Amino acid sequence: MRIVIAPDSFKECLTATQVSLAISDGILRIFPEAEIICIPMADGGEGTVESLVAATCGQIIPASSLDALNRPIQSFYGVLGDGITAVIEMAAASGIELLSAEERNPMITSTFGTGLLIKAAMEAGYAHIILGIGGSATNDGGAGMAQALGFGLLDINNHQIGPGGGSLGKLDRIDHSNVHPLLQKVKITVASDVRNLLLGPSGATYVYGPQKGASPEILEILENNLTHFSGVLEKEFGENFAIIPGAGAAGGLGAGLMPFCGAKIVSGFDLINQLTHLEEQISQSALVFTGEGKIDSQSAYGKTVGGVARIAKKHGIQVIALAGVVASDLTEIYQLGVSSIFAIADRPMSPEESKERAGELLASSSERIMRLILDFKSK
């Protein structure tokens, strides 16, 4: 039996690779002769570097950067097996999981550290950069990133504006005189499955700002500042980037990457599917396992579970999905092609215990599922 395992990470407890190995362990307890193909997945957020480096036999490169509060950290980027493509997770520098709950404040958090990772990859000689922009702690429209790459974001007194979404309202003009010279020579592809526009009720601020620490009062300030920032970008670059799908990703970093870096936004899942040859592997399998920390109605839109299900359905392959938390309304997920969804908990337990035991629970769940399959096969 040939089985493909293609899960996303379980946030705050297991990487996609660890999830894959745990599921594989459970399968092999019942089918020790099974041929298992593990393809750790991501959709542009945390785990993107790991997934692509593993799939292409690349390597991880340590790199110094700053977190979203501009504190020095040791970060990283990946190099794909082709030797010319670097892959960066903005979450590895400007990510929300690098901050405690008390530290999260989109008025002051910045994407400057993400810009430093881009700079490091460019200066190392990589001609193509893939940038995953999920999991941000920021709402600065990519202003910090632009400053790290040499753009002057100046107020009326010709001083650089400060960090964070709280300073965007002070932007008066953009100075290009010190832009990094390599920026015109590198191709930057943005991997994101967030399709939100920059502004409005479904934009960067109102949808994602609350989870980054913004109160209702702060949300209004951030929205007004992003509106002003967007207007300056349109005046400077001659295009309204706010209305492009994906502009609202990562607190507006999507909007900033297009004018400042000439970047193109693509589906994170589709890009990873292409580079890992996921569809080819699924088409030759008898069964597919996938999963993520929480499966709900949103899993149908751009998430790993939904993407894996679409591919498997196309080839008539059954898909089993595992999750730490399973919501009640899953009609759309089943319609995409998932055969069944299982919560991994084996008894009532707290979220903390579920996270602590996630690897064990994944292995046990996949073992029970394979026992059921073995029983059917024997009849």
On average, the pLDDT of the chain sits at 93
Indicate if the pLDDT at residue 110 is higher than 70: yes
What pLDDT, in 10s, does the model give residues 13-51?
888 889 999 999 999 999 999 999 999 987 677 788 988
pLDDT score at 378: 66
What pLDDT, in 10s, does the model give residues 42-74?
767 778 898 889 888 999 999 999 999 999 999
Where residue 311 falls among pLDDT bands split at 50, 70, 90?
Answer: very high
Of the listed ranges 42-51, 161-170, 329-338, 356-365, the one predicted with least confidence: 42-51
Q: What angle do CA 187, 190, 192 make, to 5 degrees?
A: 165
What pLDDT, in 10s, does the model give residues 278-292?
999 999 999 999 999
pLDDT score at 272: 86
Rounded to 10°, the helix 249-261/216-237 angle is 10
Edge to edge, the sheet with strand 128-132 lists: 59-66, 72-79, 85-89, 128-132, 187-191, 264-266
Q: How far apart are CA 148 and CA 10, in angstroms?
A: 31
Q: How far apart are CA 377 and CA 379, in angstroms?
A: 6
pLDDT score at 351: 86
pLDDT score at 360: 96
Domains of the chain are: 2-40+286-377 (3.40.50.10350), 48-268 (3.90.1510.10)
pTM, whole model, 2 decimals? 0.87
Tell me what the mean pLDDT of segment 250-271 comes to: 94
